[in-house]
């Protein structure tokens, strides 16, 4: 990765972190976006902010998130929501702290 690519990718990472902090996106969708951006930057970046991988890995495979929810039966979405809310609540503070650190250190 060139320095220019790293700079552009870091800028996108900061933007995704800001979107979570500002409430433009929810914890789950925002965390998935941040995790993707960390992956673009390389394994060492993902290692700096492990909470995003930990959260992603905690989500059950059969839990619809993001636009995927549009294709699920509403009853099934409502059935999985309590677990999703529980996980979001459990990870929320750590995710917000990581977002603030990303913005502070790289923004």
Backbone angles phi, psi at 24, to 5 degrees: -65, -30
Q: Do 77 and 64 meet the contact criterion of CB atoms below 8 Å apart?
A: yes
DSSP 5-52: HHHHHHHHHHHHHHHHHHTSS-HHHHHHHHHHHHHHH-HHHHHH-THH
Q: Give tens-digit pLDDT for 33-81.
A: 999 999 999 999 999 999 999 999 999 998 999 999 999 999 999 999 9
Chain position carrying tokens 């700079």: 7
Q: What is the mean pLDDT of the chain?
A: 96
Model confidence pTM above 0.75 = yes
- Smallest CA-to-CA distance from 45 within 106, 91, 94, 90 is with 106
Average pLDDT over residues 87-106: 98
What are the residue ranges spanned by the domains of the chain?
11-106
Q: What percent of the chain has pLDDT over 90?
A: 96
* 1 has pLDDT over 90: no
């Amino acid at each position: 990765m060139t320095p220019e690519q790293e700079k552009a990718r870091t800028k996108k990472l900061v933007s995704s972190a800001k979107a979570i902090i500002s409430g433009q996106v929810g914890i789950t969708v925002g965390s998935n976006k941040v995790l993707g951006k960390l992956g673009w930057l390389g394994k060492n970046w993902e290692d700096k902010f492990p909470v995003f991988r930990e959260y992603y890995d905690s989500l059950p495979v059969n839990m619809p998130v993001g636009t995927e929810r549009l294709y699920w039966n509403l009853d099934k979405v409502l059935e999985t929501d309590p677990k999703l809310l529980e996980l979001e609540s459990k990870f929320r503070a750590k995710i917000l702290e990581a977002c603030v650190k990303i913005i502070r250190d790289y923004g």
